[in-house]
A and B are shown apart, each in its own frame.
Chain A
Amino acid sequence: AQRVTQPEKLLSVFKGAPVELKCNYSYSGSPELFWYVQYSRQRLQLLLRHISRESIKGFTADLNKGETSFHLKKPFAQEEDSAMYYCALCSGAGSYQLTFGKGTKLSVIP
């Protein structure tokens, strides 16, 4: 069975400080991993995916298969980054279902 673990329910950082949101996964195959973000009163939206290896809004995430991690990082947090962040895994085994972590609420203190 696949599982996504986000150990932190809440993460508070000061504006300008580095941010790292942790995500670990459990899956026997080769997963597709995503970070989704939900700003206040808005719908869930894709932030980035590991296969594209892109940086969105200054965020990056590297898939570490050895540590089964996909941590989300940003060198300098901004107030507008405050939101709920969900790590998600897709097994890619034909169903395209996403398994979500429990989410981490990021609060950037001005």
Chain B
Amino acid sequence: KAGVTQTPRYLIKTRGQQVTLSCSPISGHRSVSWYQQTPGQGLQFLFEYFSETQRNKGNFPGRFSGRQFSNSRSEMNVSTLELGDSALYLCASSAGNYYGYTFGSGTRLTVV
């Protein structure tokens, strides 16, 4: 059974640019969540999608957005990048409310 796949693994972007990250969940998982991980702030919840609908959203500015497609694949977009957006972005999928999350290996974003 394939795990959660995130692409790309590494990205270097310039301040002001935008970026799109991709996540393919485990087959059959309809819930996809996104997290930002930094040494100072730990794991911060960005948003969760279920069946193409955003079910929950964390406390991030509107520059952070996402979407989920009918095949449960999800994308996350960050516009007008700032230096502080440098982080490891993790995607996780779940089979439902009573199950844990399976994480992908993450995308390491560096903003210069």
Q: Do A and B form a real pair? A: no
A contact set with B: CB distance below 8 Å: none
